[in-house]
Amino acid sequence: MSLDRARVKEIFTAAVELARGELDPYLDEACAGDDELRRELESLLAHHDERDLVRPPLPEHSAPTLVPEERGLASAHEHVRYRELVELGVGGCGRVTSTWDRQLRRRVARKQLLIDAPGQRAMLLQEARLLAWLDHPGVVPVYDTEADGEASYTMRLLDGETLRSRIDSEGQLSIPESVRVLTRVSETMANAHAKGVLHLDLKPANLMLLPFGQVCVLDWGVAKFHDLDAYHAYLRTSGETASPAVAAYDGIAGTPSYMPVEQVVGDALSPATDIYAVGIVLYEMLVGRLPHAASGGARSIIHTLSEAIAPPTRFRADIPERLEALCLRMLASNPADRPASFTEVLAEVDGLHGVPVGAERVLQPGEVLFREGEVGVEAFQILEGAVSVTVEGPSGPTEIARRGVGELIGELSVVLEKPRSATVSAIGHTRVARITGDVIAGALKNANPLLARMLLSLSARLRQTAVRARRE
């Protein structure tokens, strides 16, 4: 008897959101004695289970559980290359361990099959080959496969924290940190898409924050090739005479809260699918919460995704207008309305780097930004449009300059805290970024703490000199 695929999708989509203790009772009720349906769902759920190839964060005050020696990799025999140290996790198809590489004398992560069946061995090898093909600093590097006669592969052992853990502990991330993580993930995914690979399960739990600023994209277990041309060309130029068929996980992939409508309903997937997921991640970094709560069956999720998304600035006022606009574009329900690629996302992000990130302000034609004689403690960078600079003279206001995109205005007020020497107003529709001393100090400290101290000290001395000069 053929299964109702729509029914399978609906049950599966709800099941992946449940805790392990809730899963069996839910399947008992949903399958209602249909053994074939139950087997299909258990197979899909087993494949979908966690496949993070890293050391997960341990609970506070807890020690890692050492795996008994008899479960190790025949560690009593010196000819065996790998000696198992600690079990890091077990999924539906395999287990990942921290392992000692006797030959190179280093710790690695090793993924092994729970059941060494031919089909699963082929999928494990393909997963390792896909990671090797991606070959990017944002993807965990693979070292070898099939070691010690077992179906397995080894890779770098990562030591950091997931973005999920960071958001759970801090709530909203700072604007610079959110932009930094977005940049690193976008670079990794631009590389993957250029090589024809879709991830399809991007979420904070699959993003590892490593020391010194690196971000790794994890868990490519349900990734698919959307274009094989680059991979086949690479194989041919490397001397491979045949272009092998690449098997793909033929089930529902992804995590509902990070899936766009086309992924939920099983429509054609594309790079836009991953862009949407990263848009959800960006929203969550900025706001500390999801833009919507996608749960339940497929129909419920589709209804939720069709609702309008609240702008991030509703929950946080200091988000730059341009960053918010990018986030909302990435979350467009129509794939055609999202950025065309992660290269385009990176181009938008580059536009945020020209000035320390601060609140933005939009001016209408003729609107005054600040007036001559006012005391100001902030400067502005022009992001869009232009401004007119005027001073009061015997016969009225006289325009002395015009400033355009990229130029700074009012910077002496930040340093000297003295009255404005001119009036500045918008010429046409104009957008500016507000720059305070705190914003500059924070940006300098992130870039170079020593330079920050020197410039802040210089600024303080100039301010003192200006005060003394006004008194004299």
**How confident is the model over 291-308, as pLDDT tens digits?**
986 555 555 555 556 678
Reported as a pLDDT band with limits 50, 70 and 90, residue 73 is very low
For the chain, percent of residues with pLDDT exceeding 70? 74
Q: Are residues 185 and 328 in the same domain?
A: yes
Domain count, the chain: 4
Assign residue 454 the CATH number of its domain: 2.60.120.10
- Of 301, 317, 351, the position where a domain reaches its end is 351
Looking at residues 27-36, what average pLDDT do you find?
84
Q: Are residues 414 and 287 in the same domain?
A: no
Token pair 């054609």 in the structure block, residue: 268
Looking at residues 338-346, what average pLDDT do you find?
94
Helices (H) and strands (E) in the chain, counts: 15, 16
Reported as a pLDDT band with limits 50, 70 and 90, residue 37 is confident
Q: Is the pLDDT of residue 399 over 70?
A: yes
The pLDDT value recorded for residue 211 is: 84
Q: Are residues 390 and 313 in the same domain?
A: no
Buried (b) or exposed (e) across 368-394, using 16+ Cβ within 10 A?
ebbeeeeebebbbbbbbbebbbbeeee
What is the pTM (predicted TM-score) of this model? 0.62
Q: Are residues 412 and 459 in the same domain?
A: yes
Cα–Cα distances in angstroms (integers) from residue 66 to residues 69, 85, 86, 93, 328, in the given order? 9, 6, 5, 21, 46
**DSSP class of residue 145?**
E
- Of 159, 184, 209, the position where a domain reaches its end is 159
Q: Are residues 311 and 214 in the same domain?
A: yes
Domain ranges, residue 39:
5-48
Q: Which DSSP helix (H) or strand (E) runs through 450? A: helix 449-471
- Of 152-156, 197-201, 263-267, 367-371, the range with the lowest mean pLDDT is 263-267
- Of 14, 29, 48, the position where a domain reaches its end is 48
Calpha distance 390→425 (Å, rounded): 8
Calpha distance 247→462 (Å, rounded): 67
pLDDT, mean over the chain: 80
Q: Are residues 383 and 307 in the same domain?
A: no
The pLDDT value recorded for residue 457 is: 66
Q: Are residues 331 and 439 in the same domain?
A: no
Q: Are residues 258 and 283 in the same domain?
A: yes
CB neighbour list of residue 221: distance below 8 Å, 6 or more residues apart: 47, 51, 127, 201, 249
CA angle 305, 307, 313 (to 5 degrees): 105
Which amino acid, one-letter code, is at 19?
A
Q: Is the pLDDT of residue 45 over 50?
A: yes
- Of 199-213, 342-356, 447-461, the range with the lowest mean pLDDT is 447-461
Assign residue 119 the CATH number of its domain: 3.30.200.20
The pLDDT value recorded for residue 326 is: 96
Assign residue 331 the CATH number of its domain: 1.10.510.10
Q: Are residues 425 and 296 in the same domain?
A: no
Higher-confidence residue of 24 and 259: namely 259
Q: Are residues 179 and 306 in the same domain?
A: yes
The pLDDT value recorded for residue 23 is: 78
Calpha distance 458→463 (Å, rounded): 9
Q: Is the pLDDT of residue 379 over 70?
A: yes
Q: Are residues 306 and 210 in the same domain?
A: yes
Reported as a pLDDT band with limits 50, 70 and 90, residue 181 is very high
The pLDDT value recorded for residue 182 is: 96
Q: Are residues 198 and 278 in the same domain?
A: yes
